[in-house]
C-alpha cells in the first residue's frame, strides 16, 4: 500500500472533502495538522511549494490539493497510485 500524507487544518472544508474521498477509498493516511505549528506549515510549504491546505502526497508524489485529488480520481489515476 502507498504511504499517504495529507497536511490539513481543522476548519478547512477542502481538507474534509479530500479526507472523505480517501476514506471512501479505504486508504490509510497520516494527517498533519499545520494550524498550530509554524514549523509543520513550513515543512509543508518546502515539500509542496504551496501555502494552502490540503497538500497531499502519495509516497513521494505530490498530488496537490483537494481538486487535484478529485481530478486524479475522475481520470482513473488515483486507484493505481493508492495501490503502489
For residue 55, give the C-alpha cell.
Answer: 497538500
pTM of the entire structure? 0.96
Domain boundaries of the chain, sorted by first residue: 14-82
| Annotation: CATH topology of 14-82 | Glutaredoxin (3.40.30)
Q: pLDDT (tens digit, 0 to 9) for every residue of the chain, 84 residues total?
A: 899 999 999 999 999 999 999 999 999 999 999 999 999 999 999 999 999 999 999 999 999 999 999 999 999 999 999 997
38 three-class SS: helix
CA 4 and chain centroid, separation? 7
pLDDT at residue 84, rounded to an integer: 78
pLDDT at residue 22, rounded to an integer: 98
Amino acid at each position: 500500500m502507498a504511504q499517504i500524507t495529507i497536511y490539513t487544518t481543522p476548519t478547512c472544508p477542502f481538507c474534509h472533502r479530500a479526507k472523505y474521498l480517501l476514506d471512501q477509498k479505504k486508504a490509510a493516511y497520516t494527517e498533519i495538522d499545520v494550524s498550530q505549528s509554524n514549523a509543520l506549515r513550513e515543512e509543508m510549504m518546502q515539500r509542496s511549494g504551496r501555502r494552502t491546505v490540503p497538500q497531499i502526497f502519495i509516497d513521494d508524489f505530490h498530488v496537490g490539493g483537494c481538486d487535484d485529488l478529485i481530478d486524479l480520481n475522475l481520470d482513473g489515476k488515483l486507484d493505481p497510485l493508492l495501490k503502489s
